[in-house]
Structure formats: C-alpha cells, structure tokens
Amino acid sequence: MLRLPQTGSRAFEVAIYNQDVRALVKANRSHSYFDDQWADVKLRDVIARDEGEARALIAQKYPPEDGFVIKGMYPSPL
C-alpha cells in the first residue's frame, strides 16, 4: 500500500499493467528489466485525498514513461 491512512484520506484500488511487457510477451519475448507478470493487470492499493493524488502517487512508483498503464481506479474495500 502506498502511504499510511490520514484524516481525510481514502483508499483506492488501482488496476495497472505494463504495455511494453505485454507487447513483448505476445511476441514470445521478455522485457530486459520487468517481469513477464507485468503483462497482466495487477491491483495496488493507494491511500490518497482524491483520485488525482492517487494517480500521481502511482505514477511516481510506476511511471507511464516506463510503459505502465492505469486500466482502472476504484474505491478500495479496505
């Protein structure tokens, strides 16, 4: 989970995958750095004030320029 809960914060569940890894796996190849499992959607929990902050936190840890794509963001059941 990214960040500890604070007053006024909410939990978000983020569905994310890596488009570069996905393309390589489809071509029966592997990424030089990221594991093949990143071709599939992974769920990550984030604590943030709002969806915008949650997206910013995810982008810090999983940068779009490295091929990461947010497929969806939902209120977390935490």
Structural domain boundaries, residue 40: 10-75
Q: What is the C-alpha to C-alpha distance for residues 67 and 10, in angstroms, rounded to an integer?
A: 26
- Tokens 């810090």 belong to 60
Q: Is 17 domain-assigned?
A: yes
pLDDT tens string 18-74: 999 999 999 999 999 999 999 999 999 999 999 999 999 999 999 999 999 999 999
Q: Is 46 domain-assigned?
A: yes
What CATH number has the domain bearing residue 50? Answer: 3.10.20
Number of domains in the chain: 1
| pTM score | 0.85
Q: Is 57 domain-assigned?
A: yes
* Cβ burial 2-11 (10 Å sphere, 16+ → b, else e): beeeeeebbb
Q: Is 39 domain-assigned?
A: yes
Q: Is 2 domain-assigned?
A: no
pLDDT tens string 1-12: 555 556 678 999
Q: Is 4 domain-assigned?
A: no
Q: What is the C-alpha to C-alpha distance for residues 2 and 26, in angstroms, rounded to an integer?
A: 30
Q: Is 3 domain-assigned?
A: no
